[in-house]
Structure 1
Amino acid sequence: MIKYAGLIVMLLLGLGLGLGLGFWLGQQRPMQTSAIPAVAERKPLYYHHPMNPQVTSPTPAKDDMGMDYLPVYPEDQSTPEAKPQSGKILYYRHPMGAPDTSPVPKNDEMGMDYLPVYESEPESSGQIRISPEKIQKLGVTAETVAKRTLTRSIRALGSIQVDERRVHAVTPRFEGWIQRLHVNATGQAVKRGQALLDSYSPALMTAQQEYLIARQGQQMLQQGSAQAQDTAAQLTENALQRLRYWDIAPAQLQRLKTQQKTLDSLPLLSPVNGVVVEKPAIEGMRFMPGELLFRIADLSEVWLLAEVFEQDIGGVRPGQAVQISINAYPERVFSGKVGFIYPTLATETRTVKVRVELPNADGLLKPGLYGSVTLTTSAEGDKCLAIPDSALIDSGVRQVVLLQKDQGRFEPRAVKLGQQADGYYEVLEGLAEGDEVVTRANFLIDAESNLKSALDSFNKQGADTRQATHEKQHGGH
């Protein structure tokens, strides 16, 4: 009995020790059912353009094609372990990633050394390498950036007009009637001194009689005293001067002196060679002093009024030589010069009127004819850095050229341009003299460069997504 009691006590002690040990082990290891701690969500530092990593934004954005900017995380900014480079140094690049390279070592504006780029180094962002076979197949050509004098041609349309300074109005200085019209049609050509009409005027008849009487009195007093002769001569001269004031031609006055009798009608003469452009005069009508009877235009020199666009007006100067093509005479080229630039701009057409003066001795340039004007201008000052207009890739948002490097490498370069002239653009920023810019097949290279940049960006974005998914799945282990 005592033996069985001892056995039972030992079993109870063993069971107690087992339960105590199990409880202690359970406290030392966490429960398998406890929750897995959540992986902290990564916060981007900034976002960059999917095609151009140098264009950044602090917030999510889209480019002009609707593509999302790509996030850049802190771990993306970590500097990878530098690997020793070997081979030939191709060039030196800007330490901050600016689109600037140098064939020799140099420092940037902050004193930082430019970084060498070796043959074995992968292509920098934005650059693309093309094999010689593909370059030949694409027909790539390049031109050296150099300084040149830019000559531009400005073209404008206009019409022939009468020279306002060569228009003459024929107006009488006395009252009278038109007895006969010698020039009775608008457009009729007239010569200087040609009779336009014959007029009758009672006032002129009276003035003629006064002159003849004064002249006869002067002749009668030839044997009189000196004072009487002087008085008679003065009266005669006053009467003659009155006739001159009324614009009586010298030939008619000489006729009056010779015939010693009044003239029933007096002609009104043309003051210039020209064409009658207006003729209110009608045979038999009464006219008053100052009334317009004829308007005559001298067409030996005419104007062409050209409409020059506001972006071109800065290149126009008075005195510039001008070449004119008239629609009526396509086989001929007329020459003239800029006479005046009008001070106002037409808001409807955004043009400024420019007056071109043209000789017209043969009378071919008739008022109303249409023509085109070509002005050749040269850039002011010294020669400027210039690139061919075929080298420019203009998307409307950016202006880019492709630099041709060695080893079949091409690099896009943003530029700031000035005026365009003679097939060239003035370069204000972005290029240096001696750079090689692609002038042919540049759009194909640019398209391939953009595709390469886009694929690199998409691959990077995919890698970031896979890394984040992996961290979420294995964050608790």
Structure 2
Amino acid sequence: MNKKILFPYIASAIILAGLGAAGGYWLASRPYSDAGIVEKSTQNSPSEKADRKALYWYDPMVPNQHFDNPGKSPFMDMELVAQYADEGGSGASGVRIDPMLTQNTGVKFAMVETGKLEQDVEAVASLGFNERLVAIVQSRTGGIVERVYALAPNDIIAAGAPLVDVRVPEWYGAQAEYIALKKSGDTSIVGAALGRLQQLGMSKAQISRMEKLGKPLEIVTISSPLSGVLLEVNVREGMIVTPGQMLTKINGLSSVWLEAEVPESQSSEIAVGKSVSAKFTAWPEQAIEGRVTALLPELNRETRTIRVRMEFPNPNEKLRPGMYARVSINNATSHNRLLVPSAAIIATGKRNLVIVADENNRYHPAEVEVGREGNGKTEILSGLNEGEKVIASGQFMIDSEASLKGVLARMESQKKTSASPVHEAHGKVEELSADDITISHGPVPSIGWGAMTMSFNITDKKLAKGIKAGDIVNFSFHESDTGMNIDHIEKSGGSQ
């Protein structure tokens, strides 16, 4: 009873499996054109193929091996593909790819445009003192240090802060003489006494203080000329100082320097006065603006970098030497260049290529000389013209199709502007017409051919003068967009 119930279900499953297999075979056997991919062998109708001349046949997986007859590939279980003499149209170059295929595979295009490369140089910089704000406090005359104020190196001091009290015996007598003469009212002598005080080293502030007190200053206080960091204190209480002796060294903090190492390749457009934006670790959300003040003259030979000095205002004195910052230097070019997306550049290791598209859906590689790169754009120094259309992404598909014809391979073996290589061969003339000659030739190692029979173009009728069918010949030829062209041909034996 159970077997009778299960039998219909088993039969149905077998029938469905058979239908699925048949459907899969039908889908697999559908031409690629249904999916938007046009096979090379189905791009032309049978009548069109009959009117075209096949140069040779090849296996797309081994494109360098050529055959003189169609058939199965010895390398793969597939039919050989014909390479036609007029493939691509008269005078056309590159490869043609069906527009539906490029659309389905996501190929993106970009135009070659003229513009200025907006490139900001990013670097890590360290903060240091502005060494143009250094003040050296010296003793103007000999004396005895009576007091050193409670200061130590790296203390932050304000402008006018007292540093040292010095007793100056030499000044005391001159001050007393000046006060006495001033009380006498003799202005001519008073002027000479004032001049003597100034020559001895008293400042205007010290003289004014003496006049206000009306008596000589026994102790002279030396103050800081500016606000900043006290770098050195070279005086102690009880010391005898001499004229010109350095007492302290102070570095101002009203502005600071940032110095960064910039690669040599990115330094060409950096100039004094260019704007700089810096973000410090302590204030990552705040950008502080400054400017480039110097490009130091020496290049670091080991890192191939140039030191760039930048100056930043420091009104609140919150920027302290030793801090790190990430700086962005405006490095926009001052002149227009041809620009393409950086993704369009194919770097082979020997040269740089881009794939150019024309209005007929044909693609060819162009060798270019590149300049600087920034913000996703690359400068093109030569090799392209403004307004040309290039492949910005999806080059893999174009590269794959072009490799079948050896387009990119030839670019790797020779310059774009150089002549095509000339190949030499030996064979027998099978047929001769006004425009072409059919020769059964032996292997041609220079181009990777085996023995075959194929047609060659005769661009100059004088080359074939005296040549007839059956002649054994030595000949040379080169490859062009229109096919294989005879360069030289001569008999090497009689007719057969």
User: Where on the TM-score scale, by shorter chain, does this alignment land: which range?
Assistant: 0.5 to 0.7
Taking the aligned partners of 1:355 and 1:172, their CA distance within structure 2 comes to: 34
Task: Quickly say closer, same or farther: Cα 1:120–1:427, change in 2 above 3 A.
Answer: closer
Counterpart of 2:181 (choices 201, 214, 217) is: 214
Answer whether contact 1:280 1:294 (CA < 8 A) is retained.
yes
- Deviation of the 1:257 alpha carbon: 2.9
- 3-state SS of 1:438 partner: strand
Correspondence for 1:450: 403
Q: 1:270 to 1:455 in 2, by over 3 A?
A: closer
**Which of 425, 450, 471 pairs up with 1:465?**
450
Relative distance call for 1:261 and 1:431 in structure 2 (3 A) is: closer
| Cα drift, residue 167 of structure 1 | 1.0
- The C-alpha deviation readout for 1:119-175, integer Å capped at 9, x for no partner, is 8749967x3344445424431111122222322212233221211221111101111
Mapped to 2, the partners of 1:338 and 1:320 lie a distance apart of 5
Q: State the partner residue of 1:254.
A: 208
1:340 corresponding residue in structure 2 = 294
Alpha-carbon deviation of 1:200? 1.1
Q: Which amino acid aligns with 1:465?
A: G
Point out where structure 1 has 5 or more consecutive residues left out of the alignment.
Answer: 1-82, 87-116, 223-228
Amino acid at match of 2:226: V
Conserved? CA contact 1:393–1:443, under 8 Å:
no
1:271 to 221, 225, 229: 225
1:437 matched to 2:390? The reply is yes
Q: Is the Cα contact below 8 Å between 2:269 and 2:331 reproduced in 1?
A: yes
Give the strand-richer structure, 1 or 2: 2
1:402 maps to 2:355: yes
Query: Following TM superposition, by how much is the alpha carbon of 1:261 offset from its aligned partner in structure 2, in angstroms?
Result: 3.0
Percent identity for Structure 1 against Structure 2: 31
Residue 423 of structure 1 and its aligned partner are, at CA, apart by: 2.3
Per-residue deviation, 1:476: 11
Q: Give SS of 1:415's match.
A: strand
Deviates more, 1:412-421 or 1:394-403: 412-421
Q: Where does residue 143 of structure 1 map in the other structure?
A: 110
CA contact (8 A) 2:444 2:451 kept: no
The number of equivalent residue pairs is: 346
User: Does the alignment pair 1:379 with 2:379?
Assistant: no
Matched, 1:413 2:366: yes
Question: In 2, distance between residues paired with 1:443 and 1:407?
Answer: 20
* Residue of structure 2 equivalent to 1:297: 251
Deviation at 1:203, TM superposition (A): 1.7
Secondary structure in 2 matching 1:356 = strand
Match of 2:426 in 1: none
Partner of 1:208, secondary structure, is helix
Q: State yes or no: 1:424 paired with 2:377.
A: yes
2:385 partner amino acid: A
Q: Is the contact made by 1:85 and 1:121 (CA closer than 8 Å) also made in structure 2? A: no
- The Cα RMSD (Å) is 3.5
Q: Distance in 2 between matches of 1:276 and 1:199?
A: 19
**Preserved CA contact (<8 Å) 2:402 2:408:** no
Partner of 2:31: none
- In the aligned structure 1, how far is the partner of 2:177 from the partner of 2:409? 109
**Counterpart amino acid of residue 453 in structure 1:** G
- How far 1:356 sits from its partner (Å)? 1.1
Corresponding residue for 2:148? 181
Distance verdict in 2 for CA 1:388–1:171, change over 3 Å: same
Residue 399 of structure 1, CA deviation? 0.9
Q: Distance in 1 between matches of 2:323 and 2:407?
A: 57
Partner deviation per Cα, 1:423-448 (whole Å, 9 max, x = no partner): 22222322222221001111443255
2:370 and 2:448 map into 1 onto residues whose CA distance is 39
- Decide whether the 8 Å contact of 1:412 with 1:446 is kept in 2: no
Q: Which residue is equivalent to 2:133?
A: 166
Query: Contact between 1:178 and 1:200, CA under 8 Å: does it hold in 2?
Result: yes
The SS at the match of 1:199 is: strand
Q: Secondary structure at the match of 2:450?
A: helix
Can you list the C-alpha shifts for 1:84-139, whole angstroms capped at 9, x where unaligned? Answer: 889xxxxxxxxxxxxxxxxxxxxxxxxxxxxxx978749967x3344445424431
Alignment of 1:324-363 (within 5 A): 324-363=278-317
Task: Choose the corresponding residue for 1:154, options 106, 114, 121.
Answer: 121
Q: Is the 8 A contact 1:182 1:195 kept in 2?
A: yes
Structure 2 Cα separation of the partners of residues 397 and 239 of structure 1: 84
Asked if 2 retains the 8 angstrom alpha-carbon contact of 1:152 and 1:378, the reply is yes
Structure index of larger Rg: 1
Aligned partners of 1:177 and 1:284 also within 8 Å? yes
When normalised by structure 1's length, the TM-score is 0.64
TM-score using structure 2 length: 0.62
Q: 1:235 aligns with which of 170, 189, 202?
A: 189
Q: In 2 relative to 1, CA 128–385 (structure 1 residues): closer, same or farther, beyond 3 Å?
A: same
Change beyond 3 A, Cα 1:184–1:270: same
Any runs of at least 4 consecutive aligned residues in structure 1 with deviations exceeding 6 A, and if so which? 83-86, 117-120, 122-125, 454-457
The answer to whether the 8 A contact 2:88-2:95 is kept is: no
